[in-house]
Amino acid sequence: MEYVHLGRSGVMVSKICLGTMNFGPHTSEEDSFKIMDRSLELGFNFFDTANVYGWKIGEGVTEQIMGHWLAQGGGRREQIVLATKVFGRMGEGPNERRLSAYHIKHACEQSLLRLQTDHIDLYQMHHIDRESPWEEVWQAMEQLVREGKVIYVGSSNFAGWHIAQAQAEAKARNFMGLISEQSLYNLSARMIELEVAPACEYYGLGIIPWSPLAGGMLGGAFEKTKEGRRASEHVQKQIEEHLDQLEKYGILCKEMGEKPADVALAWLMNHPFVTSPIIGPRNVEQLEGSLRALEIRLSEEELERLDQIWPGPGGSAPEAYAW
């Protein structure tokens, strides 16, 4: 395993992040334990979850599974950088969602209980909240940091200007602010290259790409389409829309002698602003298979061909659209 700094912070995280969204809905607690135990053996130390995962309002199913795993001891908690998120609806009340100071405090305390730990290493805002002012959000986060319940703060699904706004307000308060941004980013979804990636580079935020395989579309679209996320109606529609590109991509990967999923992960890790793509294995075999991406070194010719197959926005803004 390779390790990199999480943004401009001093903490080091594995170059691939273990995503846990499948834990509960698609992976049993027993199998989730096996995946997490094997992750530690392989050198993964960056585990990501969210209070809404499990998709049963207010239950935090995935956090509970992780809490049961951590409660076994054996140095599990000490070996990982634990990340979770706040924003989503956790109850029927009007204050059981979003980023009010009221909800941030309550949501954090509930996550700590479910995770059976006394602190969260990376507490991420799952979405921007246009109804809560930054002075309120940062006051709540600062309090959690002072109490030792949170170490670092990150964002997810923010626009570039949200990151700039957040960092300006944090600086005015002499607070570190954001150290990471978790964004949708993969070969077929490159919009963040316009403004989010440049903003993250400028402010020293590490980018943590979610859905690095486009929901499975980039993981070998013509294989096992009746299994996993690739079998979903949404992904099948994506496959139909990108059929020509996927065929060309499959040919390139075959020429390289590599699996499409490994090439997609390697392409993300080739970008210096990317910290750790998030993988969401449903079993140990998928987890172990992801390590091949760390060994792939893409040539200039291969990168150019990938750009031809999966063109981005043309660079960063405003040059991408103004010149």
Q: What is the pLDDT of residues 69-105, one digit of tens each?
A: 999 999 999 999 999 999 999 999 999 999 999 999 9
Share of residues in the chain with pLDDT > 90 (%) = 93
Listed residue (75, 180, 62, 77) closest to 119, CA to CA: 77
Q: What is the pLDDT of residues 156-197, one digit of tens each?
A: 999 999 999 999 999 999 999 999 999 999 999 999 999 999
How many angstroms separate the CA atoms of 125 and 275, rounded? 18
| Residue 126 confidence (pLDDT) above 70 | yes
Residue 184, Cβ density class (10 Å: 0-12 exposed, 13-18 middle, ≥19 buried):
middle
Q: Using pLDDT thresholds of 50, 70 and 90, give the confidence band for residue 323.
A: confident
Share of residues in the chain with pLDDT > 70 (%) = 96
Report whether 137 contacts 129 (CB < 8 A). Answer: yes
Rounded to the nearest integer, the mean pLDDT of the chain is 95
Q: How many CB atoms lie within 10 A of CB 271?
A: 15
Question: Cα dist. 192→37, 43, 125, 234 in Å?
Answer: 33, 29, 18, 22
Model pTM above 0.85: yes
Give the pair of three-digit tokens for residue 173. Answer: 């308060």
| Residue 291 confidence (pLDDT) above 60 | yes
pLDDT of residue 284: 97
List, in order, residues 6 or more apart from 130 with CB less than 8 Å away.
none
Report whether 221 contacts 251 (CB < 8 A). Answer: no
- Is 53 labeled as catalytic in the residue annotation? yes
pLDDT of residue 235: 80
Write the CATH number for 113.
3.20.20.100
The alpha carbon of 236 is separated from its chain's Cα centroid by a whole number of angstroms, namely 23
131 secondary structure, DSSP code: T
pLDDT of residue 138: 98
pLDDT of residue 220: 78
Domain total for the chain?
1
pLDDT of residue 225: 53
**101-115 vs 134-146: helix crossing angle, rounded to 10:** 40
Cα–Cα–Cα angle for 174, 199, 219, rounded to 5 degrees: 125
Alpha carbon dihedral 256, 262, 266, 267, in 10-degree steps, equals 80
| Residue 272 confidence (pLDDT) above 80 | yes
Cα–Cα–Cα angle for 272, 266, 23, rounded to 5 degrees: 105
Report whether 154 contacts 178 (CB < 8 A). Answer: yes
Q: Which residue out of 53, 123, 185, 249 is catalytically annotated? A: 53
Q: What is the pLDDT of residues 217-246, one digit of tens each?
A: 999 755 555 555 556 787 888 899 999 999
Q: What is the pLDDT of residues 247-265, one digit of tens each?
A: 999 999 999 999 999 999 9
pLDDT of residue 221: 55
pLDDT of residue 137: 98
Q: What is the mean pLDDT of residues 36-59?
A: 97
pLDDT of residue 46: 98
Report whether 267 contacts 187 (CB < 8 A). Answer: yes
| Residue 42 confidence (pLDDT) above 90 | yes
Give the residue numbers spanning the domain of 255. Answer: 3-322
Give the pair of three-digit tokens for residue 260. Answer: 């499409």
247 secondary structure, DSSP code: H
| Residue 39 confidence (pLDDT) above 90 | yes
